[in-house]
Amino acid sequence: MTFLQIYGVTIKRHLDKCEWLHADFFLKIHEVNSLTGERKGTIVFSSVKTYFQKPTEVSRNWYLIDAKDQVVGKVAVKAATLLRGKGKVIFTPNVDTGDNVIIINASKAIFSGKKEFQKRYSTYSGYIGGQKNYTPQKIRLKRPTFLIEHAVRGMIPHNRLGRKIYTKLHVYEGAEHPHTAQKPIPISID
């Protein structure tokens, strides 16, 4: 049995050697002889620094999401996560580390419950009487890609970075898209 001392606190252990990992440093615990007080080993501090991705070092992939018969919110969550790059190990909050996302069949995406008829999208021109309300059913007739674009826009930051991230979103009404040369990786919605 050995006695280990960490910051003046003596701990009784059955191990001959022990190493302890902390978030900020490595500390190699040294043995203390209980009879003589003699210490064996050294304390080694090595700083583990957080890595911040530089904008020039980011590698981007292309992903394809098929929104046919998928809930609009679930498609938007998946797209926003990929656009932001939150699933990457190198995620940095103030750098655009996300990937390009292509969403096809946007006109065939669905809403859960009665949202297709009860949900309202409103616009306001700034003039008296200039407020207009639309249901998703009416919006689908004029601009079916708006429903997914609007949902994704609400899930990314509302600042300069968010506007830059939003440019990597490509939403198409039908199954055809002009990005076949980029070889997008198909993603399924769980």
Average pLDDT over residues 166-185: 96
Residue 147 has pLDDT above 60, yes or no: yes
Residue 13 has pLDDT above 50, yes or no: no
CB 21, CB 46: distance < 8 Å: no
Write the CB contacts of 34 (distance below 8 Å, at least 6 apart in sequence): 3
* Domains in the chain: ranges and CATH: 62-187 (3.90.1180.10)
The pLDDT of residue 49 is: 81
pTM for this one? 0.73
In the block, residue with structure tokens 């190699």: 28
Collapsed DSSP state (helix, strand, coil) of residue 150: helix
pLDDT bin (cut points 50, 70, 90) of residue 46 is low
